[in-house]
């Protein structure tokens, strides 16, 4: 097992991709504060033996800024493991100018998949998103990782895969979530993706369940899908019993 430390900027009622500054002075203050906080996390992650540190997650309106290179240099000085950044889908991945300074190109993928029963449409949308993401990775000769993918266990979730339970009330649909996650794993294998991280899993072992309609896979059919995938990967390794 490997440990990935992946910080998120949480803003009540908003999203990290909305973070943007008004003028150069604000940008300097923001990056100084962000770099200081990331430095604390990098030191903690290194001290605890984590394998990977994401320097940021879906900060789509900041990733054009050259100050990220200074953030990366500081993180490297504090964390001995692998560094990456999680871009918000293929669009941001294609714009990030600092991939060459990192060890992997990572993306979160929540494209519109289509109707709940249209599996060919799901696979088409997934393959297209992966292909577009691979362009950024190939350009800098880095591995591609899916740093986030997932789906609510809710009816109609394939039409807006990024949508949370707070945004729309819907009947639970565990089998839909399981089928979509299995499809993502299939497409990731076909594309040769280096890592796939599922959103999400809580520390509470009783989380999720058949009546839950949020993203967690716990105590739902999707959990069994991940277990099968993990066991297959474990026993397919050279030298496995």
Looking at residues 116-127, what average pLDDT do you find? Answer: 95
Ordered structural domains, the chain, with CATH: 4-235 (3.20.20.80)
The region of weakest confidence among 19-23, 48-52, 116-120, 234-238 is 234-238
Percent of the chain surpassing pLDDT 70 = 98
Token pair of 18, please? 């909305």
The Cβ-side half-sphere exposure at 111, using a 13 Å CA radius, reads 21
CA nearest to 71, candidates 107, 35, 103, 100: 35
Token pair of 51, please? 């394998």
Confidence of residue 241 (pLDDT cuts 50, 70, 90): very low
Pair 86, 54: CB distance under 8 Å: yes
The pTM of the full predicted model, rounded to 2 decimals, is 0.92
Higher pLDDT pick, 142 / 239: 142
pLDDT of the residue at 131: 97
Percent of the chain surpassing pLDDT 90 = 89
Residue 220 has pLDDT above 60, yes or no: yes
Pair 184, 135: CB distance under 8 Å: no
């Amino acid at each position: 097992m490997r440990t990935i430390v992946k910080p998120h900027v949480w803003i009540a009622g908003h999203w990290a991709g909305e973070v943007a500054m008004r003028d150069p002075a604000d940008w300097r203050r923001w990056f100084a504060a962000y770099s200081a906080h990331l430095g604390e996390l990098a030191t903690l992650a290194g001290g605890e033996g984590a394998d990977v540190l994401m320097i940021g997650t879906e900060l789509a309106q900041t990733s054009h800024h050259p100050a990220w290179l200074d953030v990366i240099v500081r993180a490297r000085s504090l964390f001995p493991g692998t560094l990456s950044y999680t871009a918000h889908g293929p669009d941001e991945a294609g714009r990030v100018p600092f991939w060459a300074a990192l060890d992997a190109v990572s993306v979160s993928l929540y494209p519109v998949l289509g109707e709940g029963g249209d599996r060919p449409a799901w696979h088409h949308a997934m393959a297209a998103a992966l292909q577009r993401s691979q362009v950024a990775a190939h350009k800098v000769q880095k591995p591609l990782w899916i740093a986030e993918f997932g789906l609510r266990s809710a009816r109609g979730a394939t039409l807006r895969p990024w949508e949370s339970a707070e945004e729309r009330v819907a009947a639970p649909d565990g089998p839909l979530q399981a089928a979509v996650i299995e499809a993502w794993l299939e497409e990731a294998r076909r594309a040769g993706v280096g890592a796939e991280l599922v959103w999400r899993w809580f520390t509470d072992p009783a989380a999720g369940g058949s009546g839950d309609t949020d993203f967690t896979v716990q105590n739902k059919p999707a959990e069994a899908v991940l277990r099968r995938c993990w066991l297959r990967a474990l026993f397919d390794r050279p030298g496995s019993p």
